[in-house]
C-alpha cells in the first residue's frame, strides 16, 4: 500500500512541479529566486529518487536484495537535508520581502534567522544518535524542523494579514507552505508512532497525510502563479 501511495504521489506531484517551474520561467523567478531554486531542487530530487525507490522496492520484494534500497535511503536522507535547508531559505526570503517597509526590519530579520538556526541546532543535538539507523533520528529531527518552519510561516501569515497593502500571491505562498509544514510535522509524528507501535496502518496514515499536504501545497503554488499570469495577460 505504501508503495502504491508513493507512486501515485509522484504521478501527480511531478507534473505539478513542472507546471510551477514553467510558470516561474515566464518571469516570476526574478522576484522569487529562492522559491524557484527550491522548486527546481524538488523536481530534481523527484527524478533521482523515483527510479531508485521503484527498483529498490521491487528488488527487496522479489529477491530480498537490499543493495539498491540502501542506495535509495542514503540518497533520500541527503536530499531531505538539502530540501529542509532550502525550505528555511524560502520562508526567510518571504519574510524578507514582507518586512521591506517595516522600520525595525533589521532587528526582526536577525532575530528570525538567529532563532531558526538555534532551534535547528538544539533539535539536532536532541535527536542525533549514531548508534541507530539515520532514518530513526532524522525523521524526528526533520519533523521538529518542519514544526519550526510552520511557526515562522505562521508569523509571516499574521504579518501579511495585518499589512495594509495586501499581497495575495505572498498570502497564497505562505498559506501553502503552512499546509506543507503542518502535514509534514503531523505525518512525521505519526511515522514515529508507527515505528514504536510497529504498525503498518500508522505508517500508511503518516505517508498519506504527508502526501496530501505536499500535493495541496504544489497545487496552491501553481494556482498562485497561474492566476497572476492570467491577470498580467488581461492587463
Render pLDDT for 12-30 as a digit per residue (tens, 0 to 9): 999 999 999 999 998 889 9
Report which listed range, 29-43, 47-61, 63-77, 186-200, is most confident.
29-43
pTM of the model: 0.84
Cβ atoms of 109 and 99 closer than 8 Å: yes
DSSP string, 176-231: HHHHHHHHHHHHHHHHHHHHHHT-HHHHHHHHHHHHHHHHHHHHHHHHHHHHHHHH
Q: 146 CB contacts (<8 Å, ≥6 apart)?
A: 84, 87, 180, 181, 184, 185, 188
Render pLDDT for 60-107 as a digit per residue (tens, 0 to 9): 777 777 888 888 888 988 898 889 889 888 988 888 887 776 666 677
Closest CA relative to residue 113, chosen from 84, 93, 136 = 93
Cβ atoms of 146 and 192 closer than 8 Å: no
Residue in this structure with the C-alpha cell 494556482, named with its chain if needed: 223
Amino acid at each position: 500500500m505504501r508503495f502504491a501511495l508513493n507512486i501515485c504521489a509522484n504521478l501527480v506531484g511531478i507534473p505539478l512541479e513542472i507546471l510551477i517551474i514553467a510558470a516561474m520561467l515566464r518571469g516570476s523567478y526574478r522576484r522569487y529566486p529562492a522559491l524557484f531554486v527550491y522548486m527546481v531542487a524538488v523536481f530534481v530530487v523527484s527524478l533521482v529518487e523515483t527510479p531508485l525507490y521503484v527498483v529498490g522496492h521491487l528488488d527487496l520484494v522479489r529477491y530480498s536484495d537490499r543493495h539498491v534500497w540502501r542506495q535509495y535511503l542514503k540518497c533520500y536522507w541527503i536530499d531531505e537535508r538539502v530540501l529542509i535547508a532550502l525550505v528555511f531559505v524560502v520562508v526567510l526570503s518571504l519574510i524578507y520581502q514582507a518586512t521591506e517597509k517595516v522600520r525595525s526590519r533589521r532587528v526582526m530579520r536577525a532575530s528570525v534567522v538567529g532563532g531558526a538556526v538555534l532551534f535547528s541546532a538544539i533539535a539536532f543535538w536532541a535527536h542525533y544518535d549514531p548508534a541507530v539507523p539515520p532514518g530513526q533520528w532524522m525523521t524526528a529531527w526533520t519533523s521538529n524542523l518542519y514544526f519550526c518552519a510552520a511557526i515562522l510561516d505562521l508569523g509571516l501569515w499574521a504579518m501579511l494579514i495585518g499589512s495594509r497593502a495586501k499581497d495575495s500571491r505572498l498570502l497564497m505562498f505562505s498559506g501553502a507552505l503552512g499546509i506543507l509544514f503542518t502535514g509534514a510535522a503531523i505525518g512525521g509524528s505519526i511515522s514515529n508512532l508507527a515505528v514504536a507501535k510497529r504498525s503498518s496502518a500508522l505508517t500508511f496514515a503518516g505517508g498519506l497525510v504527508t502526501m496530501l499536504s505536499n500535493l495541496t501545497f504544489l497545487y496552491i503554488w501553481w494556482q498562485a502563479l497561474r492566476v497572476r499570469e492570467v491577470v498580467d495577460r488581461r492587463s
